[in-house]
Amino acid sequence: MKRMIILLCAALTAACTGGEQDGQTLSGLKRSDFRSEADGKKTDLFVLKNDNGMEVCVTNFGGRIVSVMVPDRNGVMRDVVLGFDNIGDYRTVPTDFGATIGRYANRINQGRFTLDGTEYQLPQNNYGHCLHGGPRGFQYRVFDAVQKSDRELELAYTAKDGEEGFPGNFNCRVTMTLTDDNAIDIRYAADTDKATVVNMTNHSYFNLDGDPSKDNSDWLLMVDADSYTPVDSTFMTTGEIAPVAGTPMDFRVPTPIGERIGQDFEQLKNGNGIDHNWVLNTRGNIAEACASLESPATGIRLDVYTTEPGIQVYCGNFLDGTVKGKKGIPYGFRAAVCLETQKYPDTPNKPEWPSAVLRPGEKYESRCIYRFSVSE
């Protein structure tokens, strides 16, 4: 009886860690390569699987999606996100690959904002602005992780009052669920003990060819938005909301990225290509796809759903081949597309835009669904 209990406990432990111990995952990742310690906390790799054979690997270092294995039109399983195959690279190579971004995704002008009469100064880590919560944002923090089943992972982190300059002790929880319709359902929840600003997102770099040697020129992009928020030469939103009609920013019908991204247009020059926020027509309706991306080569399609008012589309304009990812493959220019659901950039300094303020007693909630399918 004692031996039976021991075996049962071992089986339950394996189940709660995705059934993978030191062996390889479907993507070829090894959990042992992610087991380390950072900031006094243990890091690991967690494996989610559904009944269709889809697999998603996540590390609690930065709450990062490390790999996403989905079938192409011929049934071949392909890894469709960029990342590293060991914790060492995530810790030493500055990237946002697959990360949970917080406390505030995107940019805050000059790293300053005023809330309830108090001015806060944040780190200035991007053209004089605060980008993605600062140089020690959530993407470089270790989340507490609990794998509730083969399909669900809960990540939790508490940012202390003053961390990266933000006010309030901020408790956040990110729940990632892999569904049987091949979707990664990400739910964010948070509270605070002092008025603060919050804008969380996921920063996965999608390559739907499953081949980082290929760029995104042929991929079909759709963004359900009649307008977008232009930026200046430092990538900061100007405060304008501009129509996409008659410009290369119009992706209301699926269009090859390569047809637009190289056009002679001031905003494409300012963004070094496409690196902009779109004002979504879906207005937070999670039932309607706000954006889609499709590879004609593989047939793999990604539909995005969100409760947020905006989405940042970034086309990997700063990838230059110097960073080598999984299997030692260099990640070249525009080898991916990021689809970051969000509040608009610099909302704390633009009160006419949807508010990012969270106060004590309130609950921050946001949801993003990345659903994969195959087009014939």
Residues marked as catalytic: 203, 340
Contacts of 96 (CB under 8 A, 6+ apart): 132, 139, 203
Three-class DSSP labels, 95-150: CCCCEEECCECCEEHHHEEEECCEEEECCCCECCEEECCCCCCHHHCECEEEECCC
Two structure tokens written together for 92: 């030493």
Sequence letter at residue 237:
T
- Residue showing tokens 């200035």: 124
Tell me the C-alpha distance between 58 and 46, whole Å. 5
Q: What are phi and psi of 111, to 5 degrees?
A: 65, 20
Neighbours of 371 (CB within 10 A): 17
Tell me the C-alpha distance between 333 and 318, whole Å. 7
